[in-house]
Amino acid sequence: MKKLTRILAVLMALTMMGSLAACGDSGSEGNSTAESSSADSAYKEEDDVKVDTTLVDEMVANDPDIKGQKIYWLADYDLNPTNNQDRSVALTIFEDKYGASVEYVSCTSDTKFDTLASRILGGDPVDMFPYEWDAVPNGVTKDQYQPLDDYLDLSDDIWSDMSDVIDMFEYKGSHYVVPYCLSDPLLITYSRSMCEENGLDDPYELYQDDKWDWDSFMNMMKTFVSNAGDGETRYGINGWFGQAMVQSTGETFVTYDGEKFANNISSPAIEDAEGIMEEIMNLGMYDPTWYGYLPDDGSTLFFGMADWALGSSNTKHDPDPEVGDDGFVEENDLMIVPFPKQPGSDEYYLNCNFAAKMLVKGSDKGDAVAAYIKCERLAAMIDEYQDAAKEKAIIPEYNAQGKLKSYVTEEQYDALQDYKDPKNITPVFDFGYGMGSRMYGDGEYTYETRGVMNNLTTALLNGDKDSWAVLRDEWSAVIDEVISGYNS
């Protein structure tokens, strides 16, 4: 059982560490939108959607002139088109409106930080690097990155919807991380028909009525499990959810007041969230088996995972859906909701990734890197681009044999965008994840070697510990030791 849980944790850690997931079509590999050129028209065709490029012209008109500049992008994926893909919206704006370009410096996911360090020390060109949780404060203290404040006007209206998220990352008065959108939200997938068959409310309707909280979440799982027939094994939840459960409180293990970090492991709210996990385990309601989709055997009510698993879950539960004349799947029995809020809370909190790019220390292309980041933001916020992204996202995917591989319904897609909007749900970032491998790392993936943050969100579910009080007391001193190094 523990081995299966560890496989799950490793795979999910890899998913959550990356910031490759695009916001609509705004940026990363595998996400692109075709655009035909016309010098005489204010409009360009974008996946059959007319985009008013004069709007973009106005937004970049007063920016620094970077025409002809090339930024060196070090990563394990290319921002330029590959495998006959079209340019992304962000790259199209960057090349066509700014007259600049991106040169890809290839590395592997395992070697990218070593490559970054060697290029900085050796004076080899490197300007932009993917954001990962370890960037702040660890990457900053290692002199890997420099602030973007001198190059990006964060008072510009284009950043207004993201301003609270951006300020959440402010470190020592500077903005090293400027997210242009949210990505990879951890959500709960469930079957509406299974809820109905078991006399349960629809979680999405509870969410819409502001009644989706821990109490309804636990009561639904308990009822579902108790309804099991003779010889039937049922579970309340499967998947990755410890981290999302803790962050549904809005609290973090490490807090930051703008000057000093503090240990918040004794937060009563966090204790309550860990208590929920204890109860789930004590009642045998958690299935640690690894699935890349909501189990389709009727054994499990809820599936906690990032949104990447939704398409395959749909196919598993309805492999032959009705496809409309427009080529889209009209409906599916499955639906997604954010993790429930703490009873009495006024808002929902989201565990997610943050799409951002880092300006590398020593780079003299600050204006160009800032311009590219701005292009990502424009691609993520302009309605026409997002309409095109939606149409692309809900087109069913088929494999080479013509078999349906994945699909997302319009209802699911719209709900996902709602959850990724920081006006609706507050995202959470814990600086503890950015404090090096002692705090967040797999090691040999045993209780003794993995990172503190990993243990605090998985040890109860793994069965490594059966008490939050014991878990908290074993690791609190380590948190104190680590943060003291960043406070000195």
- The span from the CA of 113 to the CA of 461, in Å, is 31
Q: What is the pLDDT of residue 444?
A: 65
Q: What is the pLDDT of residue 443?
A: 67
Tokens of 455: 């243990």
CB 176 within 8 A of CB 169: yes
Coil/strand/helix, residue 215: helix
The domains located in the chain, with CATH, are: 21-182+355-393 (3.40.190.10), 186-351+398-488 (3.40.190.10)
Residues facing residue 186 across a β-bridge: 306
Coil/strand/helix, residue 314: helix
**Has this prediction a pTM greater than 0.85?**
yes
- The span from the CA of 270 to the CA of 250, in Å, is 9
- The span from the CA of 15 to the CA of 352, in Å, is 11
The DSSP code for 434 is: G
Q: What is the pLDDT of residue 168?
A: 97
In angstroms, what CA-CA distances link 85 with 88, 223, 433? 9, 48, 34
Helix (H) or strand (E) holding 5: helix 2-17
Q: Is the peptide bond before 185 cis (omega within 30 degrees of 0)?
A: no
Tell me whether residue 48 is exposed, middle or buried, using C-beta atoms within 10 angstroms of its C-beta: 0 to 12, 13 to 18, 19 or more. Answer: exposed
The DSSP code for 201 is: P
Q: Which amino acid would we find at residue 6?
A: R
pLDDT along the chain (488 residues), means of 10: 39 37 41 29 39 79 96 97 89 96 96 96 97 97 97 96 97 98 97 98 98 98 97 96 97 97 98 97 95 95 97 95 89 96 97 98 98 97 92 92 94 97 97 96 80 95 93 97 96
Within 13 Å of residue 301, how many CA atoms lie on the same side as its CB?
A: 27
Tokens of 207: 């969410």
Q: What is the pLDDT of residue 27?
A: 37
- The span from the CA of 42 to the CA of 153, in Å, is 26
Q: Looking at 32-169, which runs of residues are DSSP E strands?
A: 43-46, 49-52, 70-75, 101-106, 128-130
Helix (H) or strand (E) holding 239: strand 235-239
Helix (H) or strand (E) holding 355: strand 353-355
Q: What is the pLDDT of residue 69?
A: 98
At a CB cut-off of 8 Å and minimum separation 6, what does 199 contact?
A: 223
